[in-house]
């Protein structure tokens, strides 16, 4: 099959592409405009494959989308392109409205036009898979509550509101035009190649450089953590084995407070970082935990997210392979072993790859 994957140079998108190229015989067309979070260096393991193609295209450009559909004739669209950082959405929501809502609309319309021209067999096989977030559901008040696929939407940030809007568009195109769509809502992802503005890589890299480890509020916000490679497996299963119109929640069964996560990272770094590589003198002799700094909470910060992923387990047989303990150890080890990747992100030199990329 041919997969057209938007946002394939991002964190989750690149994991999906690496999974498909490594574990299937399918072809991937990576469509990414290469914004600040798009990094082609996350795809060096697959870039030489004859089954991998890259197109630097903005999903808001309808003419270019039509060209891609006509040329590549994809069987499945996996839509991951999105502005995704909550803090950035608070500071400047316009990009989130443009990419997450207008971009999704353009992609839906390009997909619909292409799908309408397919023969009956290919029409039935085609899928538009929209990858979303558990943040669209808002805050869980009862400690025993879990998000299920029918939980009402109650987004709290410009980011989650824009993703909720895109979810509604996808379902409307399925209901009104019969476009065969799928929606998945995932919990917080973590793992290799994660852009350093997000909590886990930010804490790891700050600790290695002896910088403060900032935690919003009192650090008691609870998130369900999903290892990105487990998520990639789940997304491929949904895209290839689901009935049109289905929704699946994908979670890691790993509820942790932000403070607990930071404590685990500090303790792992104490264990794994050799003295002769990164001197713990940065931490003033008090260990990495001494670098923790509590900062003013961000506006509208949800307290708890937690996913019930029983539907995807029951219907598709998926469960995460990684516990949080195993996944976070793999993650820390990856950052310790791949300084060349993250140092180029931190100093901005990865952007030269972005700016120099073309079709």
Q: In this structure, is residue 352 part of a structural domain?
A: no
* Number of domains observed in the structure of the chain: 1
Q: How confident is the model at residue 197 (pLDDT cuts 50, 70, 90)?
A: confident
Cβ-Cβ contacts under 8 Å for 107 (sequence gap 6 or more): 6, 59, 65, 77, 79, 81
* Beta-bridge mates of residue 295: 216
- Grade residue 275 by pLDDT with cuts at 50, 70 and 90: low
Domain assignment present for 186? yes
34 within some domain = yes
Residue 281: inside a domain: no
Q: What CA–CA distance (Å, rounded) separates 298 from 314? A: 37
**What is the rounded CA–CA span in Å between residue 4 and residue 20?**
12
Residue 220 above 60 pLDDT? yes
- Could you give the residue numbers annotated as active site? 134-135, 159
The verdict on residue 210 lying in a domain is: no
Q: What is the pLDDT of residue 351?
A: 73
262 within some domain:
no
Structure confidence by residue, pLDDT tens digits, 16-37: 999 999 999 999 999 999 998 8
Q: Please state the rounded mean pLDDT for residues 159-164.
A: 96
Q: What is the pLDDT of residues 310-328, one digit of tens each?
A: 999 999 999 999 999 999 9
Q: What pLDDT was estimated at residue 218?
A: 93
* Domain coverage including residue 234: 2-194+225-255+305-324
What integer pLDDT is reported at residue 267 of this predicted model?
94
pLDDT for position 142: 81
3 state SS for the chain: CEEEEECCCCHHHHHHHHHHHHHCCCEEEEECCCCCCCCHHHHCCCCCCCCEEEECCCCCCHHHHHHHHHHHCCCEEEECCCCCCHHHHHHCCHHHHHHHHHHHHHHHHHHHHHHHCCCHHHHHHCEEEEEEEHHHHCCCCCCCCCECCCCCCCCCCHHHHHHHHHHHHHHHHHHHHCCCEEEEEECEEECCCCCCCCHHHHHHHHHHCCCCEEEECCCCCEEEEEEHHHHHHHHHHHHHHCCCCCEEEECCCCEEEHHHHHHHHHHHHHHHCCCCCCCHHHHCCCCHHHHEEEECCCCCCCCECCECCHHHHHHHCCCCCCCHHHHHHHHHHHHHHCHHHHHHHHCCCHHHHHHCCCC
Q: What is the pLDDT of residues 81-139, one digit of tens each?
A: 999 888 899 999 999 999 999 999 999 999 999 999 999 999 999 999 999 999 999 98
- In this predicted structure, the answer to whether residue 274 has a pLDDT above a threshold of 80 is no
Asked if residue 131 is part of any domain, the answer here is: yes
Please indicate, yes or no, if residue 133 is contained in any of the structural domains.
yes
The distance in angstroms from the start CA to the end CA of the chain is: 22
* pLDDT for res 107: 98
Work out the number of other CB atoms within 10 angstroms of the CB of residue 178.
14
Predicted pLDDT at 357: 42
pLDDT of residue 303: 87
What is the per-residue pLDDT across 52-91, written as a single tens digit (0 to 9) for each? 999 999 999 999 999 999 999 999 999 999 998 888 999 9
Whose tokens are 């839509």? That residue is 79
What is the model's pLDDT at position 355? 47
Look up the CATH number of the domain holding residue 72: 3.40.50.720
- Closest CA relative to residue 104, chosen from 131, 70, 133: 131
Q: Using an 8 Å Cβ cutoff, are 48 and 54 in contact? A: no
Confidence band (pLDDT; 50, 70, 90) for 281?
Answer: low
Share of the chain above pLDDT 90, in %: 84
pLDDT at 302: 82
């Amino acid at each position: 099959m041919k997969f057209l994957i938007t946002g394939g140079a991002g964190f989750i998108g690149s994991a999906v592409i690496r999974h498909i190229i490594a574990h299937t015989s399918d072809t991937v067309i990576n469509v990414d405009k290469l914004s600040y979070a798009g990094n082609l260096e996350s795809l060096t393991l697959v870039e030489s494959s004859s089954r991998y193609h890259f197109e630097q295209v903005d999903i808001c450009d309808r003419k270019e989308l039509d060209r891609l559909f006509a040329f590549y004739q994809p069987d499945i669209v996996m839509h991951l392109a999105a502005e995704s950082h909550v803090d950035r959405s608070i500071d400047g929501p316009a990009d989130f409205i443009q990419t997450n809502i207008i971009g999704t609309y353009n992609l839906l319309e390009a997909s619909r036009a292409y799908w309408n021209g397919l023969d009956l067999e290919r029409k039935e096989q085609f899928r538009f898979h929209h990858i979303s977030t558990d943040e669209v559901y808002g805050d869980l008040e009862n400690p025993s509550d879990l998000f299920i696929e029918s939980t009402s939407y109650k987004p709290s940030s410009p980011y989650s509101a824009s993703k909720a809007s895109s979810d509604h568009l996808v379902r409307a195109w399925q209901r009104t035009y019969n476009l065969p769509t799928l929606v998945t809502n995932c919990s917080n992802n973590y793992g290799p190649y994660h852009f350093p503005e997000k909590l886990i890589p930010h804490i790891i890299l700050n600790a290695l450089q002896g910088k403060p480890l900032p935690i919003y509020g009192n650090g008691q916000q609870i998130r369900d953590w999903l290892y990105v490679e487990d998520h990639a497996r789940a997304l491929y299963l949904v895209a290839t084995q689901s009935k049109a119109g289905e929704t699946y929640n994908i979670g890691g069964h790993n509820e942790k407070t932000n403070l607990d996560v930071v404590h685990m990272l500090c303790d792992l770094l104490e264990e794994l970082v050799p003295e002769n590589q990164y001197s713990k003198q940065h931490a003033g002799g008090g260990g990495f935990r001494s670098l923790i700094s509590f900062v003013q909470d961000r506006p509208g910060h949800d307290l708890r997210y937690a996913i019930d992923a029983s539907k995807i387990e029951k219907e598709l047989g998926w469960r995460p392979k990684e516990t949080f303990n195993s996944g976070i150890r793999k993650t820390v080890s990856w950052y310790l072993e791949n300084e060349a990747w993250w140092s180029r992100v931190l100093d901005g030199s990865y952007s030269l790859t972005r700016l120099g990329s073309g079709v």
